[in-house]
Chain A
Amino acid sequence: MIKIVHYINQFFAGIGGEEKADIKPELREGIVGPGMALKAAVGNEAEIVATVICGDSYFNENLETAIKEILEMVKKYNPDLFIAGPAFNAGRYGVACGTICKEVQDKLGIPAVTGMYIENPGADIFKKDVYILSTANAATGMRQAVPAMAKLALKIVKKEAIGTPAEDGYLPRGIRKNLFREERGSKRAVNMLVAKLKGESFETEYPMPDFDRVAPNQPVLDIAKAKIALVTSGGIVPKHNPHRIESSSASKFGKYDIAGVMDLTEEAYETAHGGYDPVYANLDADRVLPVDVLRDMEKEGVIGELHRYFYTTVGNGTSVANSKKYAAEIAQELIKDGVQAVILTST
């Protein structure tokens, strides 16, 4: 019987949402939450002997301690396989799943598998190190994700041949394999070109890596004269969120006038973000968007000027395409308004 230890976060364990995201790692015998579906998927071949639960914020804010604690827990059960998640598009959860899978593999020599949505930041960081099953962006995809994850994980632990990313549903790891084809390369290339010219679909044999990097701009020469703008993905908005920016998967960004505002008070500002515990930001939004400090610096002449408007959206589950679009629009406005530097804060 293959022994599995399963890793999940506080939410899927049913302990709580963001207000419980700071809980320390906890070990439970047997199955918890999505472990049910996992048990059904592995059938009689494997058994989930224990579940490790950890708060997403705790994991990411205390990386070294959390890893140490969790490795100790996993070691106790000496499993044959470690499965984390699936994390879908939950950013901190995805990073936690990727991190702990890599650690379990490297430090304990136990094969590990996780699952997440391709835009999850954890996917980009860990896809080369860990098998990450490609899932939908929300937990509604659980029913498809878990059996596929289980199937891939069992293949790995039984040392069966793993198919291509497309065949076995995992995110490409950048591994190339030699194989023999019926048709020679020149012929395949011409066929692809013909398909392309006809506007038909074709599949490249060597996808170019997507290195979307932007070179850093020149530094600000005279900060004491510079106009600086604040932008945030932390969802700070005027009280009652007048433009109703969504708590996750934001469909818009907000632009708010802070002329004469010296301090973001509890009475006037709050956060619309649904991906972290809002208590601290609601009490004092300067904890996310440091207007008070920048006003002091403006008075003291440390900076030239704090830009009259701040821009805000909610980063929680918002697609990369939308984030890019919002920021491109924001940047154009900032340039028009003569802003020389931006401080962008994220939670």
Chain B
Amino acid sequence: MVKEIERAGIPVVHICTIVPISLTVGANRIVPAVAIPHPLGNPTLSKDDEKKLRRGIVEKALKALQTEVHGQTVFDK
């Protein structure tokens, strides 16, 4: 799906837990997520801390969308 959206000309960032799968399907901007059943959350945290964690991941995704890349790039910092 990521690749088809990219093909249509829209920059796209893939937030996903299993990065090797994202690499093999051909996503260009990849942000690693937390866990399979809760990629953008962590139920062991308080609501506030969980939202902060989620915001952190979305911020990375926005940074990825604003970064020029020349090939597949994993934004894990």
Contacts and interface: CB of A to CB of B under 8 A. Distances in A.
A221 B65 CA distance: 9
B67 to A, nearest CB: 6
A345 B39 CA distance: 8
Contacts, number: 195
Nearest to A275: B36
Q: How large is the interface on B (under 10, 10 to 19, 20 to 34, 35 or more residues)?
A: 35 or more
A217 B10 contact: yes
A49 interface: no
Interface residues of A, number: 68
B47 to A, nearest CB: 9
A216 interface: yes
Contacts of B24: 121, 124-125
Interface in B1-51: 1-18, 20-22, 24-26, 28-29, 33, 35-41, 43, 50-51
Interface centre among B20, B25, B28, B40, by most chain A C-beta atoms within 10 angstroms, is B40
A328 to B, nearest CB: 5
14 contacts: A125-B21, A218-B11, A221-B66, A223-B65, A281-B38, A287-B41, A293-B51, A313-B1, A334-B10, A335-B10, A339-B10, A343-B58, A344-B12, A346-B16
Interface of B: 1-18, 20-22, 24-26, 28-29, 33, 35-41, 43, 50-51, 54-55, 57-58, 61-62, 65-71, 73
Interface of A: 18, 21, 57, 60-61, 91-92, 95, 121, 124-125, 212-221, 223, 226, 228, 231, 233-234, 276-281, 283-284, 286-290, 292-294, 296-297, 302-303, 313, 315, 323-324, 326-328, 330-332, 334-335, 339-347
